[in-house]
C-alpha cells in the first residue's frame, strides 16, 4: 500500500508575551481616551470598557456604603457621649431656697435649679423628669428648701416632698374689720396699705357676689373671708384680696347661704350683716345658732325690738371716732349714745352693713338659727358660758350671775 502523505502542520505561531489576552489590544494610550472609555461602550466592540466601568461603580458604592456606616456609627457615638448630661453625684451641700412658679414646666424648673447650682445641668433634670413623671406631677408651686449640687434625681424627689416647701403665709383671724385685715396683710407680706385701699375702692376685679352692697365705709367689709393664705414675691393687693373673696364665695356656696337666707326672710346681704354681728358677739359653735335665734326673733318681734348689740356700738365708735371703741364685756352709756346707724341701741333693725368679716361658724349660724322664744343672751361667767332667756326676768337673773362672777374675780371684768 502506498504510504499516506505526512500531515502538513501549520506554521508555529510566533511567541508573544501579550498574545494570551487580546483584551489589552484595545487599551488606549491617551489617558483622556482611557477615561472616556470607562463610560462609552460604543468604542469597545468587546464590551470590556462597560464591564470595567461597572466594576469601578460597584467599588465606589461599596466604599460609599462603608463611609456612610462609619459616619453613622461615629455620629451615634458622639451623640451617645453628648446625651450623658452633666450631673452632680450628690447628696448636696449648702441649703438654698428656690421658688417654683405656678404651672412651671420641667424646662422652667430645670433652669431655676441650674441657675441656683442645685443641679449640674438643665438636661440632667429634664432627663430625670422623663424617667419619673409621677414624681414631677407632685411638685407644688412655692418656695422649696433645696441643697446645692444635688443629683438631678434627688433634686426631683426633694422638690416633690411637701415637707421641704417653705410656705409664706398670712393668717387673717375671724372677726377682723377691713382696716385690721389690711394691717395684717401689710405687716406680713409688705403689700402697701395704699395698694390695698385702692383695690377696696374699686373691687371690680375681685369677683364679689352679684348681691353685694358696696357701702361707702368699707366696701369689702364682710367679704374678706378669714383664713390662712399663701403668698409669694409675685403676690399683689388684688391677688391676696381675690383669694379671700374666692374663699368667701366657696364657703357660702357650700352653706347654701343665699337660699337659706331667703328662708329666714332675709336678703343674702342682710344675712351677711347678721353673721358679722354673731361673729363679734362670740361665734362659739355651741352658742352661735342660739344667738342668731335671739336676733331674728327681735327683728320679727311685734313691735320690733332693737338688737342692742354691744358689738355694733363698738364698731360705730370706731367709725365716728366720737367715742372710745374699747370694750370687752359691756358698753357704757357714752358709747351707746353715739349717733350712728350702726348703733343698734339707738336704731332698730340691722345696721346698714357688716361690722366685721365673719367666719364659717357665724355665716352658718345666720342662716341656720335655732327655733324658740329667746330674746336675750348674756355671758354668765368669764369662761365663755352664755345664758339665754325668753323674758326680761330670766335675763336679769342671768345678768346677776355675771355680776356675781365679776365680784368673785376682781379685775377680770371690764365695761
Identify which of 94, 278, 49, 324 has the alpha carbon closest to the alpha carbon of residue 174.
Answer: 278
Which pLDDT score, from 0 to 100, does residue 63 have? Answer: 56
| Stated length of the chain | 415
pLDDT value, residue 39: 37
Higher pLDDT, residue 231 or 76 = 231
% of the chain at pLDDT higher than 70: 78
DSSP 202-265: SGGGS---TT----SS-TTTTTS---EEE--TT--HHHHHHHHHHHHHHHHHHTTHHHHHHHTT
- Per-residue confidence (pLDDT) for residue 326, from 0 to 100: 64
Residue 394's CB: how many other CB atoms inside 10 A?
A: 15
Q: What pLDDT, on the 0 to 100 scale, is given for residue 28?
A: 46
Q: Are 374 and 288 in contact (CB under 8 A)?
A: no
Residue 403, all three cell numbers? 355680776
CATH class belonging to 95-166: alpha beta
Give the residue, 328 or 276, on which the prediction is more confident: 276
The grid cell for 49 is: 470598557
Task: Measure the CA–CA gap between 61 and 81, rounded to whole angstroms.
Answer: 30
Could you read off the pLDDT of 146-169 as tens digits, one per residue?
Answer: 999 999 999 999 999 989 998 788
Cα–Cα distance measured from residue 227 to residue 203, given in angstroms and rounded to the nearest whole number: 19
Per residue in 94-135, pLDDT (tens digit) is 999 998 987 899 999 999 999 999 999 999 999 999 999 999
pTM for the whole thing?
A: 0.66
Residue whose C-alpha cell is 433645696: 146
42 pLDDT higher than 70: no
- Amino acid 59: pLDDT: 56
**Would you place residue 11 in the very low, low, confident or very high pLDDT band (cuts 50, 70, 90)?**
very low
Task: Give the Cα-Cα-Cα angle 305, 270, 184 (nearest 5 degrees).
Answer: 110
Which contiguous run of DSSP H or E holds residue 147?
strand 142-147
Of 221-235, 267-281, 300-314, the range with the highest mean pLDDT is: 267-281
CB 382 within 8 A of CB 405: yes
The pLDDT-based confidence of 170 (bands split at 50, 70, 90) is very high
DSSP output for 371-405: PS---EEEE-STTS-EEEESSHHHHHHHHHHHHHH
pLDDT band at 64 (very low <50, low <70, confident <90, very high): low
**Interval 206-234 mean pLDDT:** 90
**Residue 389 pairs with which residues in a beta bridge?**
376
The residue extents of the domains of the chain are 17-68, 95-166
Query: CA-to-CA distance for 258 and 260, rounded, in angstroms?
Result: 6
Mean pLDDT of the chain: 84
Task: Provide mean pLDDT across the span 243-261.
Answer: 97
pLDDT band, very low/low/confident/very high, at 13 (cuts 50, 70, 90): very low
Q: Which residues make Cβ contacts (< 8 Å) with residue 396, sequence separation at least 6? A: none
* Range with the poorest average pLDDT among 21-30, 78-87, 353-362: 21-30
Amino acid at each position: 500500500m502506498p504510504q499516506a502523505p505526512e500531515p502538513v502542520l501549520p506554521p508555529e505561531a510566533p511567541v508573544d508575551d501579550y498574545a494570551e489576552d487580546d483584551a489589552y489590544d484595545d487599551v488606549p494610550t491617551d489617558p483622556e481616551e482611557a477615561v472616556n472609555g470607562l463610560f462609552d461602550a460604543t468604542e469597545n466592540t468587546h464590551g470590556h470598557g462597560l464591564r470595567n466601568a461597572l466594576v469601578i461603580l460597584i467599588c465606589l458604592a461599596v466604599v460609599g456604603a462603608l463611609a456612610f456606616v462609619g459616619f453613622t456609627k461615629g455620629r451615634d457615638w458622639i451623640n451617645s457621649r453628648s446625651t450623658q448630661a452633666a450631673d452632680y453625684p450628690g447628696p448636696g451641700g449648702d441649703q438654698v431656697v428656690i421658688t417654683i412658679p405656678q404651672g412651671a414646666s420641667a424646662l422652667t424648673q430645670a433652669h431655676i435649679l441650674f441657675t441656683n447650682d442645685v443641679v449640674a445641668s438643665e438636661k440632667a433634670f429634664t432627663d430625670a423628669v422623663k424617667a419619673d413623671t409621677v414624681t414631677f406631677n407632685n411638685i407644688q408651686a412655692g418656695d422649696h428648701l433645696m441643697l446645692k449640687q444635688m443629683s438631678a434625681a434627688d433634686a426631683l424627689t426633694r422638690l416633690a416632698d411637701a415637707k421641704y416647701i417653705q410656705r409664706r403665709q398670712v393668717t387673717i383671724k375671724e372677726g377682723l374689720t377691713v382696716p385690721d385685715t389690711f394691717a395684717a396683710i401689710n405687716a406680713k407680706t409688705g403689700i402697701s396699705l395704699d395698694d390695698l385701699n385702692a383695690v377696696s375702692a374699686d373691687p371690680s376685679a375681685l369677683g364679689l357676689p352679684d348681691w353685694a352692697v358696696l357701702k361707702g365705709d368699707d366696701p369689702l367689709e364682710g367679704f374678706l373671708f378669714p383664713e390662712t393664705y399663701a403668698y409669694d414675691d409675685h403676690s399683689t393687693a388684688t391677688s391676696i384680696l381675690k383669694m379671700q373673696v374666692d374663699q368667701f364665695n366657696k364657703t357660702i356656696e357650700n352653706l347654701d347661704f343665699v337660699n337659706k337666707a331667703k328662708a329666714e326672710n332675709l336678703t343674702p346681704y342682710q344675712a351677711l350683716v347678721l353673721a358679722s354681728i354673731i361673729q363679734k358677739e362670740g361665734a362659739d359653735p355651741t352658742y352661735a345658732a342660739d344667738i342668731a335665734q335671739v336676733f331674728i326673733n327681735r327683728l320679727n318681734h311685734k313691735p320690733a325690738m332693737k338688737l342692742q348689740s354691744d358689738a355694733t356700738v363698738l364698731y360705730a365708735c370706731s367709725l365716728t371716732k366720737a367715742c372710745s371703741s374699747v370694750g370687752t364685756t359691756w358698753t357704757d352709756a357714752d358709747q351707746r349714745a353715739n349717733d350712728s346707724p350702726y348703733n343698734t341701741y339707738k336704731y332698730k333693725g340691722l345696721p346698714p352693713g357688716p361690722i366685721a368679716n365673719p367666719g364659717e361658724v357665724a355665716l352658718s349660724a345666720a342662716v341656720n338659727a335655732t327655733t324658740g322664744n329667746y330674746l336675750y343672751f348674756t355671758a354668765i361667767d368669764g369662761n365663755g358660758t352664755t345664758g339665754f332667756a325668753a323674758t326680761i326676768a330670766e335675763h336679769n337673773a342671768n345678768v346677776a350671775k355675771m355680776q356675781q362672777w365679776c365680784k368673785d374675780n376682781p379685775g377680770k371684768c371690764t365695761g
